[in-house]
A = this chain, B = another copy of it.
């Protein structure tokens, strides 16, 4: 009986989301922005309630031995809620992509064809114990006229219920349907698996979280997935690279925030440059407490170098570790990157236009950099004003995804009786 009820929750909410999506597709920019303002205000008004519910999750987490870093991700406080409320206001200032005419032309038979940007429809969002994603995902979906069905972590269930409650409360005062944002309270795996196959109701699934979560969604979903991926990125320093710039960029890409996907995990150094400057690079990395996994040439050039294994080249450390390797030339660097990289962000430091051109053409990645840190692969750094995630897939969207990634298009054809 419980099972049936819970099955019903998924189907019922998915069906409601689909109905809501039709209304949302018609919503004006003003109506959508008003909803964002209303939610922002309601968040501040009801923050005591949200924090109280969040505290229940934190207590349960502590009891169940949740790690400090996970508890920190789960935690909300007045400052964080204020930041989120502010982000909602920022979102109102971004251009509404919906309704944009992407292309328009006439055919010899006088048919007029226009390609118009439309919402995707219903977005299924699957994520981990970060209550801020609940708001982030909801607001980005609302701005783009999509309904969203949220499936967060069971360890954040009280926080998520409170937040969605507040969002729906705010929506009641607006022209948008309250079913635009719904939370799936049943967080059992079986139910999530059903969600993977809900092609009749969901237009896209977006997993947000670690590699394992994303892999599970990609491997099991028949609903199309907007995939955000791991970043096993490289900085390649060629024979013409300015020594100071090369070291500065490598250090920044590796150490400025090592836990993120656009951080650098591998440094490749051309042999001639290495002969003159690798000692400086090793010193700079070790000053920042980076553990170096080096090939033989690197081991000879420095101390406290761990020998690099095949596995090291394929590892996204997400911490203060790096693989450092000497290569003969740009060809070898590119081959290494295309073999071990994850098609995310790859940089070349060079003064040779020829090497840069070759690198830009042959490296298969969402973003390629010349003389800049890989850390700029980010929707905000790119100037999109919002970010759904960073796509490492090649279909639909590649690289940092702004609001446009949450849209599709529709051909609108006008005639006066044309038949074929």
Task: State the A residues within 8 Å of B (CB).
Answer: 22, 25-26, 105, 107, 111, 113, 120-121, 203-204, 218-219, 222, 224, 226, 242, 245, 248-249, 252-253, 256, 338, 360-362, 364-373, 375-377, 381-383, 393-396, 398-400, 408-420
Given A395-B396, A418-B376, do A410 and B368 touch, yes or no (CB 8 Å)? yes
Which chain B residues lie closer than 8 Å to A395 at the CB level? 120, 204, 224, 226, 395-396, 408
Determine if B369 and A413 form an interchain contact, defined as CB atoms under 8 angstroms apart.
yes
A372 CB → nearest B CB, Å = 3
5 more CB-based (< 8 A) A-B contacts, given A248-B417, A399-B411: A26-B361, A111-B376, A369-B414, A372-B418, A400-B411
Assuming the contacts A204-B394, A394-B204, A420-B381, asked whether A412 and B121 have C-beta atoms less than 8 A apart, the reply is no
Q: Tell me the number of copies of this protein.
A: 2
In angstroms, Cα B393 to Cα A218, docked, is: 16
Q: A417 and B249: CB pair below 8 A?
A: yes
Q: How far is the CB of A68 from chain B (nearest CB, A)?
A: 26
- Give 8 A-B contacts (CB < 8 Å), ordered by A residue: A121-B364, A248-B417, A252-B420, A369-B415, A372-B413, A372-B416, A375-B420, A398-B410
Q: Do the beta carbons of A203 and B394 come within 8 Å of each other?
A: yes
Bound together, the chains give a CA A343 to CA B418 distance in angstroms of: 21
Contacts of A121 in B (CB 8 A): 364, 394
CB of A255 to closest CB in B, whole Å: 10
Residues of B within 8 A of A25 (CB): 361-362, 364
Quick check: A367 and B245 within 8 Å, CB to CB? Answer: no
